[in-house]
Amino acid sequence: MPRISENDLIIPTLKLLNTATNNTLTTTDLIQKLTVVMKPSKEDLVILKDRSDSKFSQIVRNLKSHDTFNELGHAQYTPPSSKGQSGSFTITEKGKQYLQSIQ
């Protein structure tokens, strides 16, 4: 099974955001929901050396660190309000239009 890439997460993430309360999910919730949807391989679930997260969760976190959705205009990231909390993604109107265009 091939590894999951950041690009593989775009459409599933937008679909999850589109059905979420207020069209928003925290990064933590997104990782949990994408794990169910994407069914990452054992290799993707390996915990990274000197980290507490898996390869898969790091790929999800890269959606923020690489500003993937911001560049596409499909979702907006809101930073955490305090230390120890997760930031969140909210689908934009452009993201909703994109989903409609591919269905």
Classify residue 2: in a domain, yes or no. no
Q: Please indicate, yes or no, if residue 61 is contained in any of the structural domains.
A: yes
Instruction: For helices 55-65 and 27-38, give the axis angle rounded to 10 degrees.
Output: 130
Q: What is the pLDDT of residue 103?
A: 81
pLDDT bucket at 1, cuts 50 / 70 / 90: low
Cα–Cα dist 48/40, whole Å: 15
* Cα–Cα distance measured from residue 64 to residue 77, given in angstroms and rounded to the nearest whole number: 7
Per-residue pLDDT tens over the stretch 40-63: 999 999 898 887 889 999 999 999
Nearest partner of 99 among 7, 28, 1, 17, judged by Cα: 17
**Considering the domain boundaries, does residue 1 fall inside one?**
no
pTM for the predicted model, two decimal places: 0.91
pLDDT for 38 beyond 70: yes
pLDDT at 67: 93
Domain containing 92 equals 7-102
